[in-house]
């Protein structure tokens, strides 16, 4: 225990509105609420949106759907939910997932403790009270012993850093802030800016009805077939029967997906065998090509080159115009070293007469104009601009809240040179603050990691309550050690040599132009093992008060 800290007195205790405040009602916030309420705690969730779902509430753009197999993504904690809910597609579209999360919220009566349309603006730790003072955008304030930030790793949309966005007179939408009303592309001249995972999904859909679609691509990504299909009633029964096996598998794999890395090295098989394997992987379902490939794909440059060349050949086969095909093949990073977008006829879209690809690598967008946009090479007119420009990932939603710790230091300042945490959940100097899906935690097939993080936080709070403890802080040496561990796990990984949100780079966000240690790249089982040990040893890495 920290010698210098004093227990809050009885008067200060009485000021406390909630045992726990949770920011965010995505899957993380929903499950955290469920688990803490189970412990008899008084909990309040503040959510900026008007309903639950987080990612699946905000991202209503056409084509939005899972890249994880639906049945590996849903919550695993409730047998009743597993028994009652039928997924209709192997990779459910956004409306289905939103429906699913609303069903879960209703089933467990979660809404009664969630305050919607409530964006948290500030969170300051009141040292004398061992509590967090939370301020909403409307000025309302609340005091809570503990604060759980379930703000989402991909929930702060970013726009391109160009002038004139507000001047455009046509329709314009960001994919991560898509409106609830129907949007028609019928006969319209549409621009899509961005070709990441979201852009790829949206482009496929918009190209079906747009009068003309112009895609502005800065850097191409390696995309592979999703192979989505409906789930029949009989298939759903089989899936339901195999839930224990599905979740067991997700627990064992490096990134919590049902796909397992092949134990063989790329050069341990004959060329014929290798090509047959890659062919099978390429056309397999979901992340099979990415998460189920040869074990050395992301650490051996030569192996990675072979696999990249294989995928490049597929693009050349699928895109008729060789110049367009070359523009669509990444030249600055190897296959799998950035997030791999999943596609259904994405490449074939560029064979359509109503679709044009414009590379803005050499001729960047200079500004958005009232009637369209202007690159350094040409001016374009549009009826609609779609910004598929992604998110200020991982730390973005934390940066947007004025979070101040015990000494008054802001979290944003503390993380200026890159985030540092203890097990991805706590930050030294910010007592009683816990992050679900914060930096330096295991991500992968995210709900599996959410469930683990949430339960770890629940257990820590229960541990404190059982002992009458009111303050928990990560010891700085434990944070330093975790940082070194995370760093060691990233060594030798080709993905850490590439600019991406996974290395903390976002050209559209000020101060995010250089790579930092943004994420944990070790395996999820190893992560969980470390966290389990912390709990088993009574949290020696934390100081309590
Ligand atoms: C388009 C898209 C597709 C994806 N597909 C997959 C997939 O197939 N597989 C996978 O594993 N992961 C996927 N992800 C990642 C996805 O974000 C996670 O799977 C998961 O939904 C994260 O849940 P969460 O609750 O942690 O965060 P979110 O779902 O992002 O929820 C966070 C919530 O916090 C709220 N919030 C943030 N700041 C504040 C504030 N200051 N005040 C009040 N409320 C606030 C937000 O409004 C939001 O509702 C995808 C992400 C996107 C964007």
The predicted pLDDT at position 161 comes to 93
What does the DSSP assignment read for 9-45?
A: PHHHHHT--EEEEEE--SHHHHHHHHHHHHTT--EEE
Q: Which stretches of the chain drop beneath a pLDDT of 70? A: 1-14
The predicted pLDDT at position 375 comes to 98
Structure confidence by residue, pLDDT tens digits, 269-315: 999 999 999 999 999 999 999 999 999 999 999 999 999 999 999 99
Question: DSSP character for 129?
Answer: G
Nearest-CA neighbor of 406 among 2, 59, 88, 13?
2
CA of 75 from ligand 1 middle (Å) equals 14
CA of 407 from ligand 1 middle (Å) equals 30
Q: Is residue 263 within 8 Å of 306, Cβ to Cβ?
A: no
The predicted pLDDT at position 5 comes to 47
Pairing of strands 433-435, 384-387: unpaired
Distances (CA, A) of 304 to 54, 308, 337, 522: 35, 6, 9, 19
Indicate if ligand 1 lies below 6 Å from the C-beta of 445.
yes
Question: Which amino acid residue places its CA nearest to atom 48 of ligand 1?
Answer: 54
CA distance 315 to 520: 31
CA distance 2 to 428: 13
Structure confidence by residue, pLDDT tens digits, 322-369: 999 999 999 999 999 999 999 999 999 999 999 999 999 989 999 999
Which atom of ligand 1 is found nearest the CA of 30? 25
Which atom of ligand 1 is found nearest the CA of 198? 1
Indicate if ligand 1 lies below 6 Å from the C-beta of 120.
yes
CA angle 249, 285, 496 (to 5 degrees): 75
The predicted pLDDT at position 2 comes to 37
The predicted pLDDT at position 12 comes to 54
CA atoms within 13 A on the CB side of 403: 26
Indicate if ligand 1 lies below 6 Å from the C-beta of 435.
no
CA of 68 from ligand 1 middle (Å) equals 14
In 169-316, the DSSP E strands lie at 171-174, 189-193, 212-217, 224-225
Indicate if ligand 1 lies below 6 Å from the C-beta of 156.
no
Which atom of ligand 1 is found nearest the CA of 29? 25
The predicted pLDDT at position 518 comes to 82
The predicted pLDDT at position 13 comes to 58
Give the 3-state secondary structure of 488-516: HHHCCCHHHHCCCHHHCCCCCCCCCCCCC
The predicted pLDDT at position 184 comes to 98
Q: Is residue 44 within 8 Å of 142, Cβ to Cβ?
A: yes
Question: Which amino acid residue places its CA nearest to atom 12 of ligand 1?
Answer: 446
The predicted pLDDT at position 514 comes to 82
Which atom of ligand 1 is found nearest the CA of 450? 26
CA distance 384 to 376: 20
DSSP helix, strand, coil percent of the chain (3-state; round to 5): 35, 20, 45
């Amino acid at each position: 225990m920290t010698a210098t800290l004093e227990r809050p007195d009885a008067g200060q205790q009485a000021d406390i509105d909630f045992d726990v405040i949770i920011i965010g009602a995505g899957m993380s916030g929903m499950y955290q609420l469920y688990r803490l309420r189970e412990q008899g705690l008084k909990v309040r969730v503040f959510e900026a949106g008007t309903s639950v779902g987080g990612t699946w509430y905000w991202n209503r753009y056409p084509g939005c759907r899972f890249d994880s197999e639906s049945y590996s993504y849903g919550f695993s904690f409730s047998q009743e939910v597993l028994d009652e809910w039928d997924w209709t597609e192997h990779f459910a579209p956004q409306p289905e997932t939103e429906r699913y999360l609303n069903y879960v919220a209703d089933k467990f009566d979660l809404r009664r403790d969630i305050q919607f349309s409530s964006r948290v603006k500030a969170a300051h730790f009141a040292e004398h009270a061992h509590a967090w003072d939370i301020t909403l955008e409307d000025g309302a304030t609340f005091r809570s012993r503990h604060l759980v930030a379930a703000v989402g790793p991909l929930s702060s949309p970013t726009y391109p850093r160009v002038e004139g966005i507000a001047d455009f007179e046509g329709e314009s939408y960001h994919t991560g802030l898509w409106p609830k009303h129907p949007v028609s592309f019928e006969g319209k001249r549409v621009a899509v800016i961005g070709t990441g995972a979201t852009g790829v999904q949206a482009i496929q859909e918009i190209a079906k009805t747009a009068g003309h679609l112009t895609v502005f691509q800065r850097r191409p990504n390696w995309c592979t077939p999703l192979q989505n299909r409906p789930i029949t009633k009989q298939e759903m029964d089989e899936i339901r029967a195999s839930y224990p096996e599905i979740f067991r598998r997700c627990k064992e794999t490096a990134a919590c997906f049902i796909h397992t890395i092949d134990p063989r090295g790329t050069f341990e098989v004959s060329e014929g065998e290798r090509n047959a394997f890659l062919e099978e992987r390429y056309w397999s379902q979901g992340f099979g090509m990415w998460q189920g490939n040869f074990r050395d794909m992301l650490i051996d440059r030569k192996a990675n080159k072979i696999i990249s060349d294989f995928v490049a050949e597929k693009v050349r086969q699928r895109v008729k115009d060789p110049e367009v095909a070359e523009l669509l093949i990444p030249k600055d990073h190897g296959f799998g070293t950035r997030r791999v977008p999943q596609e259904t006829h994405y490449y074939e879209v560029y064979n359509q007469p109503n679709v044009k690809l414009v590379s803005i690598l050499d001729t960047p967008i200079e500004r958005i104009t009232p009637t369209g946009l202007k690159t350094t090479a040409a001016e374009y007119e549009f009826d609609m601009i779609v910004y598929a420009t992604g998110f200020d990932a991982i730390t973005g939603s934390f940066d947007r809240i004025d979070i101040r710790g015990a000494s008054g230091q802001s979290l944003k300042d503390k993380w200026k040179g890159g985030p540092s945490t203890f097990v991805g959940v706590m930050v030294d100097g910010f007592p009683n603050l816990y992050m679900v899906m914060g930096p330096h935690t295991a991500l992968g097939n995210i709900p599996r990691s959410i469930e683990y993080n949430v339960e770890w936080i629940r257990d820590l709070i229960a541990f404190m309550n059982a002992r009458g403890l009111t303050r928990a802080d990560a010891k700085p040496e434990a944070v330093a050690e975790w940082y070194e561990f995370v760093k060691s796990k990233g060594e030798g990984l080709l993905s850490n040599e590439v600019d991406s949100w996974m290395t903390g780079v976002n050209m559209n966000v000020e101060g995010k132009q250089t790579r930092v240690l943004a994420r944990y790249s070790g395996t999820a089982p190893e992560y969980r093992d470390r966290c389990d040990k912390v709990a088993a040893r009574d949290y020696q890495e934390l100081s309590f008060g």
